[in-house]
Structure formats: C-alpha cells, structure tokens
Amino acid sequence: MSLRLTRFRTLLKQFSQREEGAVLMLFGLTVPVLLGLTFALIDYNRASTTRLALQAALDSAALYIARSDATNPEEIQRIGTAMLNANMAHAKYGAVTTAAFTMDANQRVTATAEANVPMSVTGLLGIDVIPVSAQAEVLRSSNSVEVGIALDITGSMRGTPLSDLKTAAKELVDLVVKDVQTPHYSKVSLVPYASAVNVGSTYANNVRGTLRNGTATTPGSQKYTFKDATWSATDRTYTASTCVTERTGTQAYTDAAPSTAFVGRQYIGSPSGDANLCPSAAIVPLSSNRTTLKNSIDTYQAQGSTAGHIGLAWSWYMVSPNFASLWPSASRPAAYGTRELLKVVILMTDGEFNTAYADGVLSKDSGFGTNDIKINKNATNGSSHNQALTLCEKIKAAGILLYTVGFNLDSTNAQNLMRTCATSPAHAYLPNSGTDLKDAFRAIGQEINSLRISH
C-alpha cells in the first residue's frame, strides 16, 4: 500500500513540474503582447489627446476670425493660421501640417486642420506618425454701424493740434468704414463744430426754417437788429449764416424732427471776433465713402469758439431716424431698435464749452468773446456745459453708445464733463499729445469693430 502511495506522489510532482513549465512558457509568450497593447494604448492616448488639443485650438482660431473685422481671404487665412499655431504651441504632442480658413457670403467661417502625432512602440511596426484632423464652423454675428463724430475745429486747435486731429480722424474713418457693405453696412457722419455747426445751404432752411426777407428787430428774418451787451444805445444788425445753434423750447433736448421743432439760427456780423463766426467746414451725413469723408476732414480750418453742446447735438441728429428725411437715401439712419444695428456718437474737444446763444446771437453770459459782439441777453438754455450734460443723458437713454475724447484738457471741469458724458468712464479718453490722440481714436475704432462683431 505504501509503495503505491509513493508512486502516486511521484507522478503528482512530475505533473506539477510540467505544468509550471507550460505556464512559464505561456507567460513568456503573453508578456510581449501585453506590453505591445500597453504601449499601443499610450500611442492611442497620445493621438487622442492631440486631436482634442487640435480641435480646441481650431475652434479658438475660427472664433477669433469671426470676432475680427477681416474680410480678405488672405488676411483670414493668415490670422487663422497664426492663432492656430499659437494655441498648438502648448500641445504636448503633434505638429500642424495643414490648415485652411475661409468665410462665405453668409459670414460663416469654416476651418479645417490636420496634425501628425509621432508614435512610440507602433513606430517599430513602421507606423511613425498618425494623422489627426479637426473641423470647425463659426457664424460671424455681425452688425451694421452708424457713427456720428463731433470734431472740435475751434481756434485753439490751430497748427499741430488740428493736423493731429485730421490724421486721427481719417484713421478712424478707415477703421470703421469697411470695404464690404453687405449684408451689414458701416457708415460715418462728420460734424465739425466751433462757435456753431455749419449745415450748409442745402439743409439750412429745412432745419432752422425759411427766413423772411429784409431786416427785423425780432429773429426770423434774414437780418436781425438787436442791442449788444455793452449797454450802449447802439443797435447792431447781423445776417443769418448757414450755421445753426441750439434748439430751444420743449424740444430743446430731444431729437425730434425739424418739422416738429426747428433748431436755432445763427446771426453773425461785424465786428466778428473769433467767437462770432460760422465755421467754413460743413457737416457730412452718414456715408460709407471713405474718400468723401477724408477729403472733407482735410478741408478743416481752426476758427471760432467752443459751442460743444451744438456739435454734440448734431452728432446725435446724424444717427437719429427722426432726421432721416433730410438726407439722401443712402445717408438715412435706420430706426432705433433695428436688429443687428449699433449706433455710436463720438464727441471730441480740446477745451471748455464756452459759447451759447440767445435769439441766434452769442449770449451776454457766454464765456468767450467781447460784449460788443454779444446780444444783451443771457443764453436761453443756460451754459454750453450744462446743456451738454443734459444732451449726453438723452443720447445714452436713446440706446446710443457715447464716447468722449478730451484732447489736452487742462481744466478739471472739462475733464469731468468728458467722464460724465461718456457711456462709462472706460468710454472717456483724455489724450495729452498728438500721439495719444491718434491712439485714442484708434482704440475707439477697434472697439467699435469688436462690438460690431459681437454685439
């Protein structure tokens, strides 16, 4: 019995030794496969990670194009590629091999890209890289833009300041007015101002009313006789110009149509003085013609005092639908609340607002000019400064974005007016040099473009 048991134990031991050998052999065959699968998973993860990074980078590049103002195919490709490469610079693996960015007539940005991902273990099998790809589409949510710009061309702007203003204003026109005017347009209107705003003979009668012939001691005729502010018995007779002044009465601070309430007349005469002038440069209604706009800017001459509130009011009127009937059809502002429309007013000045009117003549309490050119009455609506404050609130309440630019202002009062009038303190600029003025206008133009895309 014991002999049989011994033999059985010996057989079990031999079987055990043979099984261990088989397991070891099986394990030896399996390990390379397992290692291969493990490294293959690493390569797969590397490719997957790179594809996700490429997709994120491409999405960002397409969105960047949509938010830009680029329309030229070469420019779209250039900025898209630059943004994609910048974003992929942070990816752990892979290099972009191809990228294409286009925008169709419906403002849809389409982007495609490929990248090669270097392999590790699978490289031993002859697969050195694996290509990954991504696609993206972004619809540019664009808006039409109407911008009214009030530009100070008063006597204090003579010389270099006016030259700097012309350069800055023309660059602003180039930034805002685009080559492509469909499906969304971009238009600018110009309101050069000094002692008043020159609307030109084309529009004067429509906005101030047709003047009676002859001379009268009450306003409304071609010539107006009044007592000046010297307290002398001498009467002065001034002649109506093509310039206009502030509106009075219940519609003083509204943009009601001129057919509802005329704006003020301006009477000028001798002795003129720098305050008693009608600036030679006239308004330009909304236009998408950059050449017309810039040619007008080039004609500006510095003269006169500062009726900033009148320039402000007219920059509002230029984008107001209530004044639309005055202008040629291409210059008519759209209605308030029009979808995909941004209305903007920009007020630029280099000093205190110091000029106001009574009966269309420089008022006795104006801060500029001598008494012999002023009427013996205080301003009907009060100071130019206070009128501007009220107008600013009305403009903002109409849903219009209001920027202010106070150029080289040495008056705290004037600086505060710029900050208070603007839509927010961030929309107020206070440049102190010609270079700063150009930078301010450039910043405004770029922000308008950004809002035009994303608003």
Lowest mean pLDDT among 39-53, 77-91, 421-435: 39-53
User: Cα separation of 106 and 342, whole Å?
Assistant: 19
* 156 and 128 co-located in one domain: no
User: Cα separation of 330 and 316, whole Å?
Assistant: 18
* Domain assignment of residue 84, yes or no: yes
**For the segment 414-435, what is each residue's pLDDT rounded down to a tens digit?**
999 999 999 999 999 999 999 9
Across 6-30, average pLDDT: 50
User: What percentage of the chain has pLDDT greater than the value 90?
Assistant: 70
* Domain assignment of residue 8, yes or no: no
Lowest mean pLDDT among 23-27, 126-130, 376-380: 23-27
Residue 57 has pLDDT above 50, yes or no: yes
What pLDDT sits at residue 41?
Answer: 59
What pLDDT sits at residue 170?
Answer: 98
List, in sequence order, every beta strand (DSSP E) within 8-167: 95-103, 108-118, 129-139, 144-152
DSSP tag of 342: E
* 340 and 313 co-located in one domain: yes
Q: Determine the distance from the C-alpha atom of residue 14 to the mean position of all C-alpha atoms in its chain, rounded to a whole number.
A: 90
* 78 and 152 co-located in one domain: no
* 221 and 88 co-located in one domain: no
What pLDDT sits at residue 365?
Answer: 96
What pLDDT sits at residue 23?
Answer: 46
Q: Where are the alpha helices (DSSP H) in 178-274?
A: 200-208
145, two tokens: 């833009």
* 32 and 103 co-located in one domain: yes
Q: What is the mean pLDDT of the chain?
A: 88
* 223 and 117 co-located in one domain: no
* 284 and 325 co-located in one domain: yes
Q: What is the CATH number of the domain that holds 197?
A: 3.40.50.410
Q: Determine the distance from the C-alpha atom of residue 441 to the mean position of all C-alpha atoms in its chain, rounded to a whole number.
A: 10
Residue 91 has pLDDT above 60, yes or no: yes
Across 39-54, average pLDDT: 76
What pLDDT sits at residue 336?
Answer: 97
What pLDDT sits at residue 279?
Answer: 94
Q: What is the CATH number of the domain that holds 74?
A: 3.30.1300
**For the segment 108-125, what is each residue's pLDDT rounded down to a tens digit?**
899 999 999 887 665 555
What pLDDT sits at residue 305?
Answer: 95
* 109 and 28 co-located in one domain: yes
CB neighbourhood size of 235 (10 A): 10
* 249 and 319 co-located in one domain: yes
Q: What is the DSSP string of 265-326?
A: EEEE-SS-TTTS---S-B-EEEE--HHHHHHHHHT----S---HHHHHHHHHHHH-GGGGGG
- Domain containing 69 equals 14-139
Residue 256 has pLDDT above 90, yes or no: yes
Of 92, 123, 139, which residue constitutes the final position of a domain?
A: 139
* 301 and 422 co-located in one domain: yes
Q: Per-residue confidence at 104, pLDDT binned at 50, 70, 90?
A: confident
What pLDDT sits at residue 271?
Answer: 59
Across 131-157, average pLDDT: 91
Residue 152 has pLDDT above 90, yes or no: yes
User: What is the count of structural domains for the chain?
Assistant: 2
Residue 38 has pLDDT above 70, yes or no: no
* Domain assignment of residue 64, yes or no: yes
* Domain assignment of residue 419, yes or no: yes
* Domain assignment of residue 397, yes or no: yes
Of 139, 163, 198, which residue constitutes the final position of a domain?
A: 139
- Hey, is 157 helix, strand or coil? helix
75, 104 contact by CB (below 8 A)? no
* 278 and 332 co-located in one domain: yes
Residue 24 has pLDDT above 50, yes or no: no
Q: Which residue has the higher pLDDT, 33 or 43?
A: 43
* Domain assignment of residue 1, yes or no: no
* 98 and 170 co-located in one domain: no
Q: Which residue has the higher pLDDT, 181 or 5?
A: 181
**pTM of the predicted structure, to 2 decimals:** 0.78
Across 186-195, average pLDDT: 97
Of 122, 139, 156, which residue constitutes the final position of a domain?
A: 139
Place of tokens 């490719």: 47
Lowest mean pLDDT among 117-126, 251-260, 444-453: 117-126
